[in-house]
Structure 1
């Protein structure tokens, strides 16, 4: 099914990307420009590209990492030449954050393509400046305009790292070709528990040859090793190019820490703090927030669940299904209380969904609802039990309050699928039908599709993964790497969801018409 791509003001997105790429190393710094006072090796450099995230109508987070103590200087403009600077700001990059730096640019114009450039200044000598890199993002509109975004998850998993001879992490290059307004990463940005080896044998007799680093050659336990996982991924040119041009909305899942972790239920060989909390989780959390362009809330700097508004047509609700879950396995014979969102996050989600004035409410989840997993939500066929009870409570609340046009997006399963949940097929029936779309991996092993349970009545409308003959953990070079694309038309408000592969093929697509709002009153809500 063809997808309508909305028009942009001024330059087309393709022209914008081509011209911006050509200026990355050449752009001057306008008001920040200073003569170079030393050899290139003596100037602070950007080590891992630049990135933006959590873009709203008037603000965005900018991220970069230096090679030494430095001050990050950022300027932005709505013209590629940077003839007019609309905002400038700076922040420090210090050793205690591994020389990463991020800042919030605010006061930006809505619905605009914004160019930003980043340079590091030596923190001890204000006259020594490194080379600039140029990036781009588009602020959210305040009027009804078409919106396009992509989503996926799962990067550098199961031992499949960066093989330059096979094009590196190609899915990021393919997503960039789609010229989205933003990208939702549903989790597993890294696989801290999956070391990268130099070579892996392929089932066709070939050899996968990884770039290797010391920190990525072991299971991460130290803060340096967790940081090293993010730095490893950023060695890939495709990922760096994508980050520079497409803002990210980041959430996490388990492999940012270790497989199937929970706050208190995961054994931590590195020890526990005095309050009983895991030092492993604390280190992983710190590294995640250092390397993600995520907005830090004043009272909860480490909080991941949040709402990002992208104009009148779309609110995105990013969940955290790790930090507040119970510490037990999700087994049917365990009658203890169980949760995956936790009471505070669930109450927030209900409140913000009810307050949302957007046509579409996208719920970005770490994992699917109806795929059976002892680490996930579904327990198998039957009425809601344990973690399913939170989902049943949420779905019933949405029906009762009249919240419509909610669509669930997720990754985690290492294949792509479209699920339609319907109370007429379900054991639990107190909810309205909804869609759930699964996509991934971005660059990791591919799995076969998993069975669904009937608690909430899901049906498979499409699915694609590896076959039984191919086996589990199929390498990225066999083409079964996936992402999803969402287009919301500014006139009709129809949402088109397309499941795509690494070669940019449209595998399956559906148009979803918005339903009239059922709420008697609509309340404004705050971002984040």
Structure 2
């Protein structure tokens, strides 16, 4: 379908700004060094720019400086920046690891917005660095406008880091060429528990080379080490180019902290000197919030990560946090489970917001799958399903409550998107095949990893009646990106018919599976 013809110009602007950042990052050691106050010269935005929290009339833009600086933003309808509006952003410094965000308001709906960010010396505003450029489309105000976005997750996992021989995270270049309205990152945007070694020997004897940094040489424990994990990914020029052109919706899962974590956990892991996961999670959350352009609601005082992002009249995205409020991983056989995987407050919020939504489609962005059996050790379970195909038990009770609510409130247009398992699949859930039957049929689509190890498929749990309509997964664990198995999904909502089409894609451009859903129809 046709896209905004003005975006070609915007992309040239984005790449021009990216070239400046690429030159600055030619030496990874220099790029990852801690900013200092006595660097000399002018402030530089070496890590590119990002945009997020895009609505019909607003957005949020992000930058990181190499020293204390004032963030200045200009926006325009064209990349010539004629008649530009100026926005005065924050003074960035060590308190936020020199990152800053500026909110943009009063933007025209459904239009391409060009922006450039300049960093100024706070003691001498005439001393400014080279600007970095970005662009994004605001959400449409009309139901007649198409909406298209991508989703995936799992970046730089299992020891597979930035490989210059392979061109780095090249899947982001491929996704950028599709020019989506936004990208949904469904968790594991870093692997804080996954050190990156300089070389890895592949099964066929080839050598995989990684760019390495000090912070990626061990598991992250300190705030500085968590921050360094986010900076590591931004060394990749493909990711920086993508961020400058495609705004993101970010959620988190376990590897932003450490594998399979839950609140209150005390680690039995010799790699960690800090054993209290709650301490690690607080540091990780702070770094995570600093390195992305998002403003999370704070009405409950927690700076919560779950939220709804409204992208025009056709789409609401419900971004879940299935990590922060969960109970401990267990065999999952309890007949009462008021905490579950979301916690009571988040479940009540999700029910309330789904009922209030007037969007045609309600995408539930879950960082963990529903009917796929994800284990944690020999007897415990990490996700919702626990391998018993009978009546709901454990965390399944909370999902059953939600599905029952959706049915009885006659909420239509719910679609579940997730990642986590490091392969791609599509499941249709049907009460006719389920042990629990009080719900309407729905689909769950799985994608990822973006750039991490591929893993074999896990079993399905029959409680909610999943039927696997498509799957592609490797036959062994930790298959490297050099051997394939890297996936992302595409969702397109037609502005004329309001049909929603999901395409499961793999790196290289192939479309593996396509499913089109009709608006307002149940049982499809």
TM-score by structure 2 length?
0.91
Q: CA deviation at 1:302?
A: 2.5
Deviations 1:383-411 (CA, angstroms, capped at 9, x unpaired): 11111111000000000000011000000
1:382 corresponds, among 382, 387, 390, to 390
Distance 1:402 1:228, change over 3 A: same
Distance 1:137 1:111 in 2: 10
Distance 2:335 2:257 in 1: 25
Distance 1:517 1:426, change over 3 A: closer
User: Which of 70-79 and 391-400 deviates more?
Assistant: 70-79
Match of 2:477 in 1: 472
Distance 2:297 2:251 in 1: 15
Match of 1:36 in 2: none
Question: Is this contact kept in 1: 2:18–2:241, CA < 8 A?
Answer: no
Distance 1:336 1:438, change over 3 A: closer
Q: Secondary structure at the match of 1:173?
A: helix
Q: Secondary structure at the match of 1:51?
A: strand
Distance 1:517 1:110, change over 3 A: farther
Question: Is this contact kept in 2: 1:427–1:456, CA < 8 A?
Answer: yes
Residues 1:363 and 2:368 aligned together: no
Distance 2:457 2:400 in 1: 24
Distance 1:330 1:69, change over 3 A: farther
Q: CA deviation at 1:477?
A: 1.1
Distance 2:257 2:134 in 1: 29
Match of 1:110 in 2: 109
Question: Is this contact kept in 1: 2:335–2:393, CA < 8 A?
Answer: no
Q: CA deviation at 1:301?
A: 6.5
1:255-270 matched pairs, under 5 angstroms: 255-267=255-267
Distance 2:349 2:327 in 1: 18
Distance 1:405 1:94 in 2: 44
Q: CA deviation at 1:512?
A: 0.9
Residues 1:279 and 2:286 aligned together: no
Question: Is this contact kept in 1: 2:334–2:393, CA < 8 A?
Answer: no
Residues 1:78 and 2:77 aligned together: yes
1:150-161 matched pairs, under 5 angstroms: 150-161=150-161
Q: CA deviation at 1:329?
A: 2.3
User: Which of 158-167 and 299-308 deviates more?
Assistant: 299-308
Residues 1:412 and 2:420 aligned together: yes
Q: CA deviation at 1:278?
A: 2.1
Distance 2:321 2:10 in 1: 34
User: Which of 292-301 and 352-361 deviates more?
Assistant: 292-301
Match of 1:46 in 2: 45
Match of 2:515 in 1: 510
Q: CA deviation at 1:204?
A: 1.6
Match of 2:314 in 1: 313
Q: Secondary structure at the match of 2:439?
A: coil
- Alignment RMSD (CA, Å): 2.1
Residues 1:486 and 2:491 aligned together: yes
Deviations 1:272-309 (CA, angstroms, capped at 9, x unpaired): 8xxx9821111111100010111133544621100011
Deviations 1:355-408 (CA, angstroms, capped at 9, x unpaired): 100100000000110011201100111111111111000000000000011000
Match of 2:186 in 1: 186
Match of 1:209 in 2: 209
User: Which of 103-112 and 322-331 deviates more?
Assistant: 322-331
Match of 1:35 in 2: none
Distance 1:457 1:297 in 2: 35
Distance 1:184 1:330, change over 3 A: farther
Task: Give the length in aligned residue pairs.
Answer: 494
Q: CA deviation at 1:94?
A: 0.8
Deviations 1:490-521 (CA, angstroms, capped at 9, x unpaired): 00001110000111111111111112599xxx
Unpaired stretches in structure 1, ≥5 consecutive residues: 27-39, 519-528
Distance 1:428 1:214 in 2: 50
Question: Is this contact kept in 2: 1:24–1:132, CA < 8 A?
Answer: no
Unpaired stretches in structure 2, ≥5 consecutive residues: 21-38, 375-380
Q: CA deviation at 1:266?
A: 4.1
Match of 1:32 in 2: none
Match of 2:239 in 1: 239
